[in-house]
Chain A
């Protein structure tokens, strides 16, 4: 490979990675809007328009930022770290293309730990102001995170065992090369585990209710109670990006068809459309599931998450056994 080709390849990778980032930054809030709309319709309401979360973000950005009296620097820094870690994970992961920028660094451990870093910083911010709700929310979020993160890691590990590499773009490329893998038992188990993790990580029913402010049940909302204005907008955007990212990652890892394998603009346009369609399908399915299920009691949540973890372990073992 000559130097010019590498440079142009790098430029194209940067452009596609930026496409990924823009898509998730705008798409994450829209996915939230779609899920809210589906829930509203299923419950017989008309519901807010799909772009309502984007409007909320614009409104929050114009408001004043207020900090609690005894809070430290953690409170204002945390939203930026949350958004930055999500953005880095999005840029290096194979969502629209199998050749994102820094593709060799897009290891599954790197991506999972980037997400974990965002969660931990947000939990610290919840503790920072010293309020009872913030501490309670952080404690609950960490309990759930401690169970969900290993499950996420092991679920992706199952795919990496099959593909023989822990590099995410290579896993996606290997799945494209072996379509028969998609229906294997280890994939099904890993997908169910992955879905449970998405529910936990993004605070959806049955684990958390994103629209509640009831102190007995709230988890994520309790952590971010101290935020207002632009910082709240960043936190909300960061959470929406994480939701969009996890859904897109699930779509790319388990159903990679349509993803661009080259930097051809036409392929990338197709990939963007395909990814949007796949993410919307998964999001609608989750929203319908939310309508049908009741929120679990907090003490039953670990059972569900450990179940997800065991499914992920089963997936790895089945993968090793059937190799």
Chain B
């Protein structure tokens, strides 16, 4: 793939990654948040696939498939099971309200854009120009992790950080070696499985997934 179609497809997919990151901060409904994460995983897979088609790199194409399945389908499916236990669950106890966190999100995106200027200046091309989007996704992930209290939201925050790191890796280096990427993807999958089991156990023991209630010791 080359020319304007390549540029448009890459812009659109990378844009979708960022929009999904913002949607996770915007919505309160946990199901909607998990759906946004799912779309983000698919968009990330598409970014890798477009880069693979552009570079004619079969290894990267395989990675794109793995990313798409793992981050777009499997991990969200695991999280959806977790949400289903607690139907109608919403992020009600965020420590910063939604309006304020959206304004902070806008500021974080601008910061990401400003600080990654030097990085993109090293090798200016279509792919590296989109690096700020990856960095912004990482920052939004950290923000979600810090301000939200539901276990599912925090897992989503962690996954946003991972997606952001993966996006930067794809854009700057056209992907890390196949083995490393497979390792990283499986690692994330394992983390999600562990967190899911942990959250289920917490749910059985404590009821809701409000992590603030874990601050004090009970008999």
Residues in chain A within 8 A of chain B (CB atoms): 180, 183-186, 188-189, 302-303, 306-307, 309-311, 313-314, 317-318, 320-322
Query: Is the Cβ of A184 less than 8 Å from the Cβ of B11?
Result: yes
Q: How far is the CA of A186 from the CA of B11 in the complex (A)?
A: 9
8 sample A-B contacts, Cβ–Cβ < 8 Å, listed by A number: A184-B12, A307-B22, A307-B102, A310-B103, A317-B109, A318-B18, A321-B130, A322-B129
Residue of A nearest to B104 (CB): A310
Q: How far is the CA of A247 from the CA of B202 in the complex (A)?
A: 51
Query: Is the Cβ of B22 less than 8 Å from the Cβ of A311?
Result: yes
Query: Is the Cβ of B105 less than 8 Å from the Cβ of A310?
Result: yes
Residue of A nearest to B131 (CB): A321
Q: How far is the CA of A216 from the CA of B105 in the complex (A)?
A: 31
Per-residue contact bits, chain B 77-106, to A (CB 8 Å; 1 contact, 0 not) = 000000000000000000001110011011
Total CB contacts across the A-B interface at under 8 A: 67
Query: Is the Cβ of A321 less than 8 Å from the Cβ of B110?
Result: no
Residues of A within 8 A of B207 (CB): none
Residue of A nearest to B101 (CB): A306
Residues of A within 8 A of B65 (CB): none
Query: Is the Cβ of B18 less than 8 Å from the Cβ of A313?
Result: no
Query: Is the Cβ of A185 less than 8 Å from the Cβ of B22?
Result: no
**Interface residues of chain A: helix, strand, loop or mixed (majority):** helix
Residues of A within 8 A of B183 (CB): none
A231 CB → nearest B CB, Å = 35
Query: Is the Cβ of B110 less than 8 Å from the Cβ of A317?
Result: yes
Query: Is the Cβ of A313 less than 8 Å from the Cβ of B106?
Result: yes
- Which among B4, B97, B113 is the interface contact of A317 at CB below 8 angstroms? B113
**Interface residues of chain B: helix, strand, loop or mixed (majority):** helix
Query: Is the Cβ of B113 less than 8 Å from the Cβ of A320?
Result: yes
The yes or no answer to B133 lying at the interface (CB within 8 A) is yes
Interface size class of B (residues with CB under 8 A): 20 to 34
Query: Is the Cβ of B22 less than 8 Å from the Cβ of A321?
Result: no
- Which among A189, A303, A306 is the interface contact of B15 at CB below 8 angstroms? A189
Query: Is the Cβ of B18 less than 8 Å from the Cβ of A303?
Result: no
Q: How far is the CA of A183 from the CA of B18 in the complex (A)?
A: 17
Q: How far is the CA of A320 from the CA of B106 in the complex (A)?
A: 14
Query: Is the Cβ of B8 less than 8 Å from the Cβ of A321?
Result: no
Q: A306-B102, A309-B103, A320-B113 are in contact. List 20 more A-B contacts (CB 8 A).
A: A180-B4, A180-B8, A184-B11, A184-B12, A185-B12, A185-B14, A185-B15, A189-B15, A302-B99, A303-B102, A306-B99, A307-B102, A310-B22, A310-B102, A310-B105, A311-B19, A313-B110, A321-B133, A322-B11, A322-B129
Q: How far is the CA of A180 from the CA of B14 in the complex (A)?
A: 18
Q: How far is the CA of A180 from the CA of B11 in the complex (A)?
A: 13
Q: How far is the CA of A189 from the CA of B12 in the complex (A)?
A: 11
Query: Is the Cβ of A317 less than 8 Å from the Cβ of B103?
Result: no
The yes or no answer to B142 lying at the interface (CB within 8 A) is no
The yes or no answer to B132 lying at the interface (CB within 8 A) is yes
Query: Is the Cβ of B129 less than 8 Å from the Cβ of A314?
Result: no
Query: Is the Cβ of A303 less than 8 Å from the Cβ of B113?
Result: no
The yes or no answer to B6 lying at the interface (CB within 8 A) is no
Q: How far is the CA of A26 from the CA of B103 in the complex (A)?
A: 39
Task: Give 8 closest A-B pairs by Cβ, nearest first.
Answer: A185-B15, A313-B106, A306-B102, A306-B99, A303-B98, A302-B99, A310-B102, A310-B106
- Which among B14, B26, B109 is the interface contact of A313 at CB below 8 angstroms? B109
Query: Is the Cβ of A314 less than 8 Å from the Cβ of B109?
Result: yes
Q: How far is the CA of A228 from the CA of B97 in the complex (A)?
A: 41
Query: Is the Cβ of A184 less than 8 Å from the Cβ of B8?
Result: yes
Residue of A nearest to B13 (CB): A185
Residues of A within 8 A of B136 (CB): 317
Residues of B within 8 A of A310 (CB): 22, 26, 102-103, 105-106
Residues of A within 8 A of B19 (CB): 189, 311, 314
Residues of B within 8 A of A321 (CB): 113, 129-130, 132-133
The CB with the most chain A CB atoms within 10 A, among B4, B16, B99, is that of B99
Residues of B within 8 A of A188 (CB): 15
- Which among B11, B16, B106 is the interface contact of A309 at CB below 8 angstroms? B106
